[in-house]
Amino acid sequence: MQALGINIGSSNVKAVLIDGDDILWSEVIPHEGDFIETLKKILASRAIPGGVRALVTGTEGRHLINLPSVIEPLCVEEALSRIEGTVNAVVSLGGEDLVVYTVDRDHRIITSFSGNKCASGTGEFFKQQLGRMDMNLGDVRNIPGDSRVLKLSTRCSVFMKSDCTHRLNKGEATKGDIVLSLSNVMAIKVVDFLNKARVTGGRVLLAGGVTRNPYLLRSLGEKMPGLEFLTPPHAPFFEAYGAALLARRTGVPLPPLETLSKPHSVQFDRLKSLGAAADRVRFLPSRKGTVKAGRPYVLGVDGGSTTTKACLVDMETREITASYYGRTHGDPVGALKLCLNEIKKQIARDIGDGTVDIVQAATTGSSREILGVFLETPAVYNEIIAHSVGTSFYHDEVDTIFEIGGQDAKYVLLKNRVPIDYAMNEACSAGTGSFLEESCRGDLNIEHARDISDVALRGTGPLKFGEHCSAFINSDIRKAVQQGASREDITAGLVTSIVSNYLNRVVGNRTIGAHIVLQGGVALNRSLALAFALLLNKDITVPPDPELMGCFGVALLAMRKMEEGALEAGKYDIDRILRTEILYEKEFICKACDNYCPIRVLKVNDHRYMFGGRCNRYA
């Protein structure tokens, strides 16, 4: 007898067709927020006999499928009944969930231990971090053999994300190191749950898509040698297989695709359309100039956590004449070289074989120190000053800056163009660009950041998600998807939630002036400025090229220092910079205090630099 089992997971739709106990076919497909259409595509692509019995399990979304549903533990028990020998526990490793079931001799569940909403150590978090490094799941098996496990902050996914980003940006880790370290974190989380369940011996069955990570399996074996870990061939769709077995008794004939889903309603409150605030936002047009041969220029660089920006600023006109905005992908030096290659093309387009005189290079951003060493420049400045200088150049009266980047969010209060108060997010990503982009890509199938604004502005009633931790907002998004809310209203709700989070967690009770400027790469998303105007009921200005304010500002700051005599002019050649490499010679421990910081000796163009530490001793 043939039967169909379906599992609506937090990240994937899994389906399996069986004949007796044999699996005829199986599918595990990411649903990216639209599990009903994903399921329909799976079923439409397969030859399924008429009248086949079907059953659905999984998340709350299963209730929107026009089939009988069953909870996952019953599916686990049924699938376990086909496993030979004793199994003492089952670990279900999903995209966003981790559950440990203890099992008796009859393959019945005794008790279960499930995780909270924190994404730390989950499959979806692992996948997101691979994307940040420009890797996919297929690349995992090809990491270098000398990759090592590093200590990462494991108490929260946001802190761990910051750890990974900063280690890569500072050259303290390779991509292979991060893959192994994240796999180790996932293993630690499984071990913690097994210890809570007091599983110290016997056989443990691993289920879920995460079992395809060989480094996780290896790490588990090393950490708990007293256990035998079992990973059956159907581990990635274990619960769906159990649902198929149960369907033979309790399932019903699979309905036609057009009646596969049930009517549904959305349980979230709603806000006004973002378009209602359109008259309160002013977008200043780009003011870029063209490169002129023979003029002096300053190269400004903003090495951010997720993106790297560089621009060439004309010292005579103070105009940006060439620029590029690209992904960091955990390699700030490589990202800067990409920027310089693109700037080089723009220079050639403007002046052909002519030359430009780059008399200074300045860096800011989270990787400003390593990029300062790479460029061999003393002009290294923090983001608060750089952004303030860049913004006030375009807006004389600015008194409040909202700056939202990929990993960081900043608030600056100015008086007469001078910062008098500032604040940054305390590692929380829920008010940042990376969270917006990763949530839209992972949950709403919006592949490119540039498309988010158009989708959000089509929303007529943004859902009210509030200003929770990113893990809880993600849960709300998935709940809204499962309730059948439109992608447009969810996206608009996510945008307003990010703004609300920023205002409550970064700005707090600090002063918000009358002349507000929103900048950073996220400001390219027009819907974000409208959300600020809607929630604050204040006018918002978006400067020209808001994503370049950091690199433009640090270039202007370097010019000012040169005019004051605090910084000497030099000579910087793009071709020479592109040929430059950083050589990591050795590492030693600084014993000047009890921190015992590791200090690396770097070699650039035959010059040696000490790099690292928590203080400025080797800055």
Residue type, 32: E
CA 239/CA 75 separation, integer angstroms: 5
Q: Sheet holding 109-114: strands in order across?
A: 109-114, 98-103, 89-93, 202-207, 227-230
**pLDDT category of residue 289 using cuts at 50, 70 and 90:** very high
Q: What angle do CA 527, 537, 417 make, to 5 degrees?
A: 85
pTM given for the model: 0.70
- Which string of b and e fits 502-531 if b means at least 16 CB within 10 Å? bbebbbeeeeeeebbbbbbbbbbbbbbbbb
pLDDT tens track for 364-385? 998 898 999 999 999 999 999 9
**Token output for 436:** 């917006």
Number of helices (H) and strands (E), helices first, in the chain? 17, 23
DSSP H stretches of helix in 352-398:
368-375, 383-394
| 278, pLDDT greater than 90 | yes
The confidence score (pLDDT) of residue 350 equals: 95
Q: Sheet holding 281-283: strands in order across?
A: 281-283, 540-542, 516-519, 400-404, 409-415, 418-424
**pLDDT category of residue 138 using cuts at 50, 70 and 90:** confident
In the CATH hierarchy, which fold is given to the domain comprising 84-231?
Answer: Nucleotidyltransferase; domain 5 (3.30.420)
Phi and psi dihedrals of 269, rounded to 5? -70, 165
Residue (of 482, 514, 534, 488) closest to 8 by Cα position = 482
Lowest-confidence pick of 5-19, 253-267, 295-309: 253-267
Torsion angle, CA of 373/377/378/383, rounded to 10 degrees?
Answer: -80
Domain spanning 274-284+396-542: CATH 3.30.420.40: yes
CA 348/CA 336 separation, integer angstroms: 18
The confidence score (pLDDT) of residue 428 equals: 58
E-strand spans in 167-216? 202-207
Phi and psi dihedrals of 586, rounded to 5? -160, 175
- Domains 84-231 and 274-284+396-542 equal at CATH topology level: yes
14-to-97, 200, 237, 596 alpha-carbon distances in Å: 15, 31, 6, 49
Residue type, 16: V
Average pLDDT over residues 320-340: 93
**CB-based contact 448:482 (threshold 8 Å):** no
Domain spanning 296-391+550-580: CATH 3.30.420.40: yes
**Token output for 538:** 């204040």
| 517, pLDDT greater than 80 | yes
| 74, pLDDT greater than 80 | yes
Helix axes 470-482, 157-169, angle to 10 degrees: 120
CA–centroid distance for 548 within its chain: 21
DSSP H stretches of helix in 395-486:
433-444, 452-457, 470-482
Percent of the chain with pLDDT over 70: 94
159-to-163, 378, 598 alpha-carbon distances in Å: 6, 30, 21
The confidence score (pLDDT) of residue 117 equals: 53
Q: Sheet holding 2-8: strands in order across?
A: 22-30, 12-19, 2-8, 53-58, 252-253
pLDDT tens track for 36-48? 889 999 999 998 9
pLDDT tens track for 290-308? 999 989 999 999 998 888 9
**pLDDT category of residue 441 using cuts at 50, 70 and 90:** confident
> Per-domain residue ranges for the chain?
1-73+239-264, 84-231, 274-284+396-542, 296-391+550-580, 581-619
**Token output for 192:** 């913690």
Q: Higher-confidence residue: 304 or 33?
A: 304
Q: Higher-confidence residue: 58 or 616?
A: 58
449: CB partners within 8 A, 6+ apart: 433, 436, 437, 440, 524, 525
CA 375/CA 332 separation, integer angstroms: 12
The confidence score (pLDDT) of residue 131 equals: 78
**Token output for 240:** 């769906």
| 470, pLDDT greater than 70 | no
CA 361/CA 554 separation, integer angstroms: 9
CA 8/CA 12 separation, integer angstroms: 7
**CB-based contact 47:60 (threshold 8 Å):** no
Percent of the chain with pLDDT over 90: 53
The confidence score (pLDDT) of residue 286 equals: 92
**Token output for 222:** 């090393």
Under CATH, which number does the domain 1-73+239-264 receive? 3.30.420.40
191-to-216, 471, 504, 531 alpha-carbon distances in Å: 11, 22, 36, 43
| 356, pLDDT greater than 80 | yes
**pLDDT category of residue 157 using cuts at 50, 70 and 90:** low
The confidence score (pLDDT) of residue 167 equals: 76
The confidence score (pLDDT) of residue 450 equals: 83
Q: Is 265 exposed, middle or buried (0-12, 13-18, 19+ CB in 10 A)?
A: exposed
Helix axes 433-444, 123-132, angle to 10 degrees: 120
CA 559/CA 527 separation, integer angstroms: 34
